[in-house]
Amino acid sequence: MFTLDPRLAGDTVPVTRLALCEVRLTDEIAWPWLILVPMRPDTRELLDLTAEDRYRLVDEIALAERVLADLHSPDKLNVAALGNQVAQLHVHVIARRIGDAAWPQPVWGATARALHPPGEAAAAAARLAAAFAARSDADG
Amino acid sequence: MFTLDPRLAGDTVPVTRLALCEVRLTDEIAWPWLILVPMRPDTRELLDLTAEDRYRLVDEIALAERVLADLHSPDKLNVAALGNQVAQLHVHVIARRIGDAAWPQPVWGATARALHPPGEAAAAAARLAAAFAARSDADG
């Protein structure tokens, strides 16, 4: 039985659910920053997924990249599965711009946390959810 | 025509070539740190790959993870495609241990660079190449 790690839940708001992943938006304001969590129990590494789920995951990462590109026209996309602090497998998909708060370094630990004002993360998540739905229709 | 970015070439030694990726070992001594470079021209993002190549890539990432697990028994694997400094699509696959030089932070920028002594990176790459060959045979 899959349950979302409470640390991931605490730092994010829900966006949508895809075939494999729950998609969340982090509450950091400095970057459009999605987290994809495969809804599979006891999963820490890509290796813990079946091959079929790995293909689903990379398709959903690509979908998340398209959505961020549609909404934010980033200069670069960053994708990472680290899990040193929260072991549950989760994939960061982050829209980067030249000159952003961490550029050209990775975002982790780059700045003091600055969070969305109340309500704004949920509004951003709603826009993202609509973009996922539109893209899934167009691609599917 | 694919050509390896000279900055990637300069910081790494060759390990092996898989169906899609050239596999390289970084010259950093603090972590077993592979870089997988899809041998496709003009590729910056996962989105620039065909779906078939994306599936090949995730299979080759999983293979690289198995090889690192075989040789180094890591506590965690880190996987990332960032590309803020070198835009050519490349995927980091890094074996992490609790208490390593950056733990639990990501490795980028975590420490002053400490390189393998002369000849040692090539020897490590040869061990890795043998492990890739053994794993590729075992996995079919």
**CATH number assigned to the domain comprising residue A68:** 3.30.428.10
Query: Cβ contact (<8 Å) for A46 and B78?
Result: no
Q: Of A123-127, B5-9, B11-15, B112-116, which gets the smallest average pLDDT? A: B112-116
Question: pLDDT at position B23, please?
Answer: 98
Whether the CB of A111 is below 8 Å from some CB of chain B: the reply is no
A139 domain residue, yes or no: no
Query: Cβ contact (<8 Å) for B82 and A78?
Result: yes
Which residue does chain A place closest to B100, by CA atoms? Answer: A84
Q: What is the mean pLDDT of chain A?
A: 94
Query: Cβ contact (<8 Å) for B54 and A59?
Result: yes
Query: Cβ contact (<8 Å) for A62 and B83?
Result: no
Query: Cβ contact (<8 Å) for A78 and B76?
Result: no
Q: Which residues of B touch A46 (CB under 8 A)?
A: 58, 61-62, 65, 77, 79
B1 domain residue, yes or no: no
Q: A46: distance to nearest CA of chain B, Å?
A: 7
Residue by residue, DSSP assigns A62-89 as HHHHHHHHHHH--SEEEEEE--SSS-S-
B91 CB-contact burial (10 Å; exposed 0-12 / middle 13-18 / buried 19+): buried
For B3-24, the pLDDT digits (tens) are 999 999 999 999 999 999 999 9
Whether the CB of A101 is below 8 Å from some CB of chain B: the reply is no
The structure's pTM equals: 0.96
Query: Cβ contact (<8 Å) for A109 and B104?
Result: no
B55 CB-contact burial (10 Å; exposed 0-12 / middle 13-18 / buried 19+): middle
For A35-54, the pLDDT digits (tens) are 999 999 999 999 999 999 99
pLDDT greater than 90 at residue B32: yes
Question: CA-to-CA distance for B135 and B140, rounded, in angstroms?
Answer: 8
Give chain A's domain count: 1
Contacts of A55 (CB under 8 A, 6+ apart): B54, B55, B58
Q: What is the mean pLDDT of chain B?
A: 94
B77 domain residue, yes or no: yes
B129 domain residue, yes or no: yes
Q: B7: distance to nearest CA of chain A, Å?
A: 15
Whether the CB of A78 is below 8 Å from some CB of chain B: the reply is yes
A140 domain residue, yes or no: no
B98 domain residue, yes or no: yes
B24 domain residue, yes or no: yes
More confident residue, B138 or A5: A5
CB atoms within 10 A of CB A6: 10
Q: In a mutagenesis test of the A interface, which of B58, B60, B63, B90 is the best target, namely the one with the most A β-carbons within 10 Å?
A: B58
Which residue does chain B place closest to A87, by CA atoms? Answer: B76
DSSP A108: T
B82 domain residue, yes or no: yes
B140 falls in which pLDDT band (50, 70, 90)?
low
Domain that holds residue A19: 6-134
pLDDT greater than 90 at residue A138: no
Look-up: residue for tokens 């390189």?
Answer: B115
pLDDT greater than 80 at residue B139: no
Question: pLDDT at position A95, please?
Answer: 98
What is the percent of chain B where pLDDT is above 70?
96
